């Protein structure tokens, strides 16, 4: 065991293994949304996106609101961690 601790290759290998495990864990707990068809509309004037209420917003915010509305109405499943797809 002492030989392994003194050998820099084992130290580098151990650090790489910890980084890989941490990266995989971070990726696994990321939130994903199940496939769900949503629709939304917006008007773009002068480079500014406006929602249905006329307020300035972004396309991502409109897409997220459309998903929340579809989820609230029961048309879409709730978001879940990525690892749930791996075990089911």
pLDDT tens, residue by residue, 9-39: 888 999 999 999 999 999 999 988 888 888 8
Evaluate whether residue 71 is within a structural domain: yes
Q: Which domain holds residue 4?
A: 1-30
pLDDT at residue 1 is higher than 60: no
- Cβ atoms of 82 and 28 closer than 8 Å: yes
Evaluate whether residue 4 is within a structural domain: yes
Q: Is the pTM of this model over 0.95?
A: no
Q: What is the DSSP string of 32-63?
A: E----------EEETTEEE-TTS-EE-HHHHH
Q: Residue 66 and residue 73: Cα distance in Å, rounded?
A: 11
Q: Does 39 lie in the same domain as 26?
A: no
Q: Does 73 lie in the same domain as 36?
A: yes
36 closest CA partner among 86, 72, 82: 72
Q: Residue 62 and residue 69: Cα distance in Å, rounded?
A: 10
Q: Does 57 lie in the same domain as 45?
A: yes
């Amino acid at each position: 065991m002492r030989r392994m601790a003194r050998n820099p290759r084992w130290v580098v290998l151990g650090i790489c293994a910890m980084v890989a495990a941490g990266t995989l864990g971070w990726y696994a707990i990321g939130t994903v949304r199940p496939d769900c068809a949503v629709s939304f509309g917006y008007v773009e004037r002068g480079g500014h996106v406006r929602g249905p209420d006329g307020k300035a917003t972004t396309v991502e915010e409109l897409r997220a609101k459309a998903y929340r509305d579809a989820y609230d109405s029961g048309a879409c499943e709730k978001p879940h961690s990525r690892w749930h797809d791996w075990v089911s």
